[in-house]
Amino acid sequence: MPGANLTRVEAQERKAVIDAPIEYVVDLDLTQGPTTFISTSTIRFDSHAGESSFLDLIADRVLEVTVNGESVDPSEVYDDDRIDLNNLKEHNEVTVKALCRYSTTGEGLHRSVDPSDGNVYLYSQFEVPDARRVYAVFDQPDLKATFTFNVKAAQSWTVLSNMPVEATEDLTDLTADGTLADKPAESTKLWHFATTPTMSSYLTAICAGPYAGWHTTYENEDGRTVPMAQYCRQALKDAFAKDVDYLFDITKKGFAFYAKTWGVPYPYAKYDQIYVPEYNAGAMENIGMVTIRDSYVFESKVTDALAERRVVTVLHELAHMWFGDYVTMKWWNDLWLNESFAEFTSTLATAEATDWKDAWATFCSGEKSWALAQDQLSTTHPIVAPINDLNDTYVNFDGITYAKGASVLKQLVAYVGRDKFFEGINHYLNRHAYSNATLDDLLAELEQTSGRDLKTWSKKWLEEAGINTITTQVDVAEDGTISSLTLDQTAPNEHPVLRPHRLAVGFYNEDANTGKIVRTDRIELDVDGEHTAVTEAAGKAMPALLLANDDDLTYTKLRFDDASLAFAMANLYRFDDALTRAVIWLSLWDMTRDGELAATDFIDTTLKMLATETESTTFRYALAMLSNTVWHYTDPARRTEIAKHVAGELLTLAKQAKAGSDEQFQLVSAYLTYGVEGDSEFADNVRALLSGSLVFEGLELDNNFRWSIMHALASVNAIEQADIDAELKRRDTTENREFAVGTRASLHSKEAKDWAFDQALHNDDLTNSQLEEVARGFSSTRDSALADQYVDQYFEAVDWIWKNKTFHMSETLIGDLYPVYADPAKLVEAGDKWLAEHKDADNALQRMVKANVESSHRARMVRDFNAALDAEVQDAQ
C-alpha cells in the first residue's frame, strides 16, 4: 500500500507545500464500541495557493470531508489511506469525520477487555505513523502543530491526554451497548483538554478507561509545580500500590538529574505514566503522558534484572521529553537522536542518581551485546540510517539505533570530555526548542563547545556501519616487564573503516589480602589506525590480565593476548568489579559465537562464573547465552549429553544459592528450559516443584512461576490441555490467558505445533500479546526432528504474512515463528532459496528474513567448528 508507506520524498514534497502554523482540533466519540469509534478532525494550516497535498487517515469509512467550507464527496478524495487536498488556499480549514477501528495489535487506539472484571481499557500508540489510525493528520515528524483534544466517553472512566483537562461536561446520553463489555450502558461525559505546545503528531496520545490512579507533584527547577500521576488497570492496583512511591521517587530523581545535566528544566505541563495491557513495545514517550507495558507491574517475583530494566525504562522515556519531544528529528533517519540519547542518558542517570550503581555493567551485558550481534549481520546499517520510507523506519528500532548508538555516545563523551559534551547539549536543546533538528545541528553545537572537529568522527562512527576489533599484542622481557604493547585495529571486509577510539587499558592482578582480581594500573589514550603503540606501558610489570577496553569506554570487539585469555577463562569469577566482568565475559561470548573459542570452554567458564556472579543482568544474559551455546553451537553428537550436564549444574547451583535470592530464582527458572522429550528425571523434578515435594527455601510458587513450571511440563509432554485449562481457571486474567495459549503452543507434539502455527496466522481474535506467546511457544521445541517439519511451511507463509498483517504483527510472526531449533543446514538451504527468489521484496521484509537466515548460517558454522574440535580430540585418543 503506497499510501500507507509514506516515502521520504513524499514527506519532503508535502513539507514544501504545508506551512505553519498548523492547528488541530480532534473530537473522539469513544462511546460506540466495541469495534469502532467516531473521529472528527479539524485542521487549520497555511499553504501555497493553488497547490495540492494530502492528509493521512486509516479508517473503515470516511463519513464527511469539508475543505474551506465546501463539502467534498469522500469517495472522490479518499483512497489508499490518503485524503487528497486539491487547489489549496493560502489559509485553509479542513474537517474530516470518519469511522475508525479500535486495534487489538497495539497500533493506533488499542482496546483491551480485562477478563478478570470485564473492564475496558483504551490507549494509543502512534509511533511511527499511527496517529492516522485515530484522526486525519499530516503524519510526519517535521509538520509540527498544536493539538486540542475533546473526548466523549463513559462518565465513570478516567480520560487522559498530553495536556491537563481544561473542562468537562456531563452529558445526558448513554454509552452504546457493548462499550463496557457485559456492563450496562451508562451516562457519558465530554473531556476538553488544553491545547498542546507545538509538537509532532506521533507524540500525541489518548488513554481512557477505569484506570486506578495515584498523584503527586514535582517542584520543577523553573519554579513551576508539575502535577505527576501514575495509572494501571484496576486488577493490578494492589500490586502496583506497593511500588508507586518508589516509581515516583525514581521519576523525580530523573527530573532533577536531567535538569542539572542539561541545564534545561522539564518543559511540559504535567507528567503521567500509564501502565497499559497488551503493549507491543516497552514504553512510549508521548508528551506529558508516557505509556508503559503493564508487565512492569509486578504481581509475581521478577529478576533484579527486570526490576532494574523498569527503572531504566522509566528514565529512558523521561529523557525523551527533551530528546525527541522538545527537540524532534526532521525525518526518521535521525531516529537515533531520540533513541540513542535516551538509552545513553537513562543508563547514566540510573548509575548516578539511583541505587542501581552497576547500570553500566547492565548496559554492557544486556544492551551492548544486542548491538554487537546485530552489527555483524548483513542487515546492519549506520547509526544515522538511510530511511527511504516508513517500512525502513520500522525495522530500525533495533540494536544499532538503541544500543550501538548509546555506546557510541558514551565514546563521544570520552572523546570530547563530559563537561564540554553536556554544554553542547544545552546549546542544542535551547536553540531548537519545540522544533526539528538534524545530526548537523547537533554536531555544530558539540564542535563549538569541545573545539574538536567532529565531521570526520561522525563520518566514521555514525555514518558507517560495522564494528571494529581491537587485539592486544604484547611482548614481555625476561624480567617480566612489558617490552612493547600494541593495540591492533581491524575492520570487516564489508565495512572497512578504522575508527578513532578514546579508551583505557587496564592492568589486573590478584589482591593478596582478598584473593580478588583487582585493577592495579590504568592507561588512557587515543587509538587510531591499524596499530597504536601504548608507549606508557613499556617497562611496567606484565599483569595477570591486560584489558584493552577498561571501563567499557568504546564500542568494539576485543581479542586478548594469549596469557590474558587463559587467565580470564580460569579466573573470571574472581574479578571484583561488575563492569570488568561484563566486558570480559562479553568478549568470551563473542569469541564463542565467532567460532574462535570452544563451546565447552565457554560453557565451563560461564558455569563457574554463575557460582559467584551477583550483577543480575550479566547473570541473566550469561544464562541465555549459555543456553544458546548448548542448543545451537555444540557438536550435535554430544548435544544431549552436554545439555543434561548443564541442566544438572544449574540445579546444583540453585540448591547452593542463597535462599530467596535473585540468583536462586534465575537458576531454577533457567533449569526449567532444559527439558527434552523422554527426560523422565527432568519431568519428575518439575512435577516435584509444582507439588511442593521439591522445595527451594525462599522460592515461592507464585502465579508467574507456576506458569513457568507448566510451560516446562508442556515442553516434555508431561501435561495435557485439561491441565492448562485447570490452571487458567484458578485465575482468569489478561496475563494468564497469554500464558495459557503460550503453554499450549509449547506442547511437544505435531498436533500442538500445527495448532499453534495456524492460530498465529489465522486467529484474528488473538491480541498482539497472545499472538506473541503462541508464536514463541510454537518455536520453543528443542527437538530438531520436529522443528525440521516446519521449515518449508515457514518460508511458504512469509509472503502471506507480509501481505495480510500489520507491520508489527508481521515482525512478530516472521521473527518468532522461525523454527530456530531445526537443522541449521535445512534452514540455510530454504532461507537462501527464499532470498534468491525475493530480491525485489520490500527492504524491511528482506531484512527480517535475512536476520533469521544468517543466525542459522552462524549456527551451522560454529556447530561445525565445535564438531571438528571434538573429532580432533577423539582422533588424538
CATH at 398? 1.10.390.10
Rounded Cα–Cα distance for residues 368 and 283 (Å): 20
SS3 string, 354-382, reads CCCCCHHHHHHHHHHHHHHHHCCCCCCCC
645: buried, middle or exposed (CB in 10 Å: 19+, 13-18, 0-12)?
Answer: middle
- Is residue 287 pLDDT above 50, yes or no? yes
Rounded Cα–Cα distance for residues 42 and 407 (Å): 43
- Same domain for 43 and 191, yes or no, is yes
- Is residue 183 pLDDT above 70, yes or no? no
- Is residue 176 pLDDT above 80, yes or no? no
Active site residue: 285, 308, 317, 613, which one?
Answer: 317
- Same domain for 112 and 134, yes or no, is yes
For residue 166, the 8-state DSSP code is: E
Cβ atoms of 400 and 371 within 8 Å: the answer is yes
- Per DSSP, the three-state class of 169 is strand
For residue 844, the 8-state DSSP code is: H
Which cell numbers in the block locate residue 722? Answer: 485439561
- Is residue 177 pLDDT above 70, yes or no? no
Q: Is cis: bond before 21, omega within 30 of 0?
A: yes
pLDDT tier, 39 (very low <50, low <70, confident <90, very high otherwise): very high
Cβ atoms of 282 and 292 within 8 Å: the answer is yes
Of 410, 436, 461, which closes a domain? 461
Interior angle at CA 324, CA 319 and CA 329, nearest 5: 150
pLDDT for 391: 83
pLDDT for 698: 96
Domain that holds residue 126: 1-209
- Per DSSP, the three-state class of 43 is strand
Average pLDDT over residues 180-202: 88
Low-confidence winner among 394-398, 496-500, 706-710, 774-778 (lowest mean pLDDT) = 394-398
Average pLDDT over residues 811-833: 97
Strands 327-329 vs 435-437: parallel, antiparallel or unpaired: parallel
Q: Where are the alpha helices (DSSP H) in 451-484?
A: 454-461
Alpha-carbon 751 to chain mean position: 33
Using only C-alpha atoms, what is the Rg of the chain?
Answer: 28
Cβ atoms of 863 and 635 within 8 Å: the answer is yes
- Same domain for 355 and 390, yes or no, is yes
- Same domain for 33 and 82, yes or no, is yes
CA atoms within 13 A on the CB side of 178: 7
- Same domain for 51 and 198, yes or no, is yes
How many secondary structure helices (H) and strands (E) does the chain include? 30, 29
Cα first-last separation, the chain = 63
For residue 666, being part of any structural domain is answered with no
Low-confidence winner among 3-7, 94-98, 486-490 (lowest mean pLDDT) = 3-7
Q: Is 76 a catalytic residue?
A: no
Q: What is the pLDDT of residues 213-244, one digit of tens each?
A: 999 999 999 999 999 999 999 999 999 999 99
- Cα distances (angstroms) measured from residue 23 to each of 27, 50, 195: 13, 20, 9
Grid-cell match 508464536, residue found: 775
- Same domain for 199 and 235, yes or no, is no
CA atoms within 13 A on the CB side of 319: 25
464: buried, middle or exposed (CB in 10 Å: 19+, 13-18, 0-12)?
Answer: middle
- Same domain for 126 and 171, yes or no, is yes
For residue 315, what is the enclosing H or E element? helix 304-320
Q: Which residues contact 680 (CB under 8 A, 6 or more apart)?
A: none
Tell me which residue of 841, 765, 832 sits closest to 112, measured CA to CA: 765
- Per DSSP, the three-state class of 412 is helix
CATH at 113? 2.60.40.1730
Q: Which residues contact 305 (CB under 8 A, 6 or more apart)?
A: 362, 366, 616, 617, 619, 620, 662
pLDDT for 1: 34
Cβ atoms of 78 and 65 within 8 Å: the answer is yes
Rounded Cα–Cα distance for residues 835 and 858 (Å): 17
For the chain, the domain total comes to 3
Q: What is the pLDDT of residues 641-684, one digit of tens each?
A: 999 999 999 999 999 999 999 999 999 999 999 998 888 999 99
- Cα distances (angstroms) measured from residue 590 to each of 280, 595, 596, 713: 30, 9, 9, 32
Rounded Cα–Cα distance for residues 730 and 703 (Å): 10
CATH at 260? 3.30.2010.30
What mean pLDDT is reported for the chain?
A: 95
Cα maximum dimension of the chain: 94
pLDDT for 178: 52
Q: What is the pLDDT of residues 306-345, one digit of tens each?
A: 999 999 999 999 999 999 999 999 999 998 889 999 999 9
Of 173, 193, 209, which closes a domain? 209
The single-letter code of the amino acid at 601 is D
- Same domain for 164 and 88, yes or no, is yes
Q: Which residues contact 551 (CB under 8 A, 6 or more apart)?
A: 504, 506, 579
Rounded Cα–Cα distance for residues 610 and 619 (Å): 7
Strands 289-293 vs 283-284: parallel, antiparallel or unpaired: antiparallel
Grid-cell match 489478561, residue found: 734
Q: What is the pLDDT of residues 579-610, one digit of tens each?
A: 999 999 999 999 999 999 999 999 999 999 99
Cβ atoms of 200 and 11 within 8 Å: the answer is no
pLDDT for 337: 86
Instruction: Order the strands of the 501-510 sheet from edge to edge.
Output: 517-527, 501-510, 545-547
Q: Which residues contact 678 (CB under 8 A, 6 or more apart)?
A: 716
Of 461, 495, 527, which closes a domain? 461
pLDDT tier, 172 (very low <50, low <70, confident <90, very high otherwise): confident
For residue 233, being part of any structural domain is answered with yes
For residue 733, the 8-state DSSP code is: -
Average pLDDT over residues 410-421: 94
- Is residue 118 pLDDT above 70, yes or no? yes
- Same domain for 203 and 226, yes or no, is no
Q: Where are the alpha helices (DSSP H) in 44-165?
A: 74-77
- Per DSSP, the three-state class of 560 is coil
Rounded Cα–Cα distance for residues 745 and 752 (Å): 6
- For residues 385 and 320, the model is more confident at 320
- Same domain for 204 and 216, yes or no, is no
pLDDT for 725: 97
pLDDT tier, 2 (very low <50, low <70, confident <90, very high otherwise): very low
Q: What is the pLDDT of residues 357-378, one digit of tens each?
A: 999 999 999 999 999 999 999 9
Rounded Cα–Cα distance for residues 175 and 296 (Å): 32
Average pLDDT over residues 107-124: 96
Which cell numbers in the block locate residue 34? Answer: 466495541
Cβ atoms of 619 and 666 within 8 Å: the answer is yes
What percent of the chain has pLDDT above 70?
99
Grid-cell match 548483513, residue found: 378
Phi first, then psi, for residue 766 (nearest 5°) are: -70, 135
For residue 266, being part of any structural domain is answered with yes
pLDDT for 805: 93
Q: Which residues contact 99 (CB under 8 A, 6 or more apart)?
A: 36, 37, 38, 39, 59, 60, 61, 62, 63
For residue 749, being part of any structural domain is answered with no
pLDDT for 629: 98
Instruction: Order the strands of the 212-219 sheet from edge to edge.
Output: 212-219, 225-232, 271-276, 289-293, 283-284
- Same domain for 27 and 90, yes or no, is yes
Tell me which residue of 265, 15, 28 sits closest to 147, measured CA to CA: 28
For residue 695, being part of any structural domain is answered with no
Bridge partner residues of 208 (DSSP): 122, 159
- Same domain for 145 and 21, yes or no, is yes
pLDDT tier, 3 (very low <50, low <70, confident <90, very high otherwise): low
For residue 737, being part of any structural domain is answered with no
Tell me which residue of 250, 240, 237, 357 sits closest to 313, measured CA to CA: 250
- Per DSSP, the three-state class of 78 is strand
C-beta neighbour count of 177 within 10 angstroms:
12
Average pLDDT over residues 846-869: 97
- Is residue 877 pLDDT above 80, yes or no? no
Rounded Cα–Cα distance for residues 345 and 256 (Å): 13
Which cell numbers in the block locate residue 290? Answer: 508516557
For residue 714, being part of any structural domain is answered with no
For residue 584, being part of any structural domain is answered with no
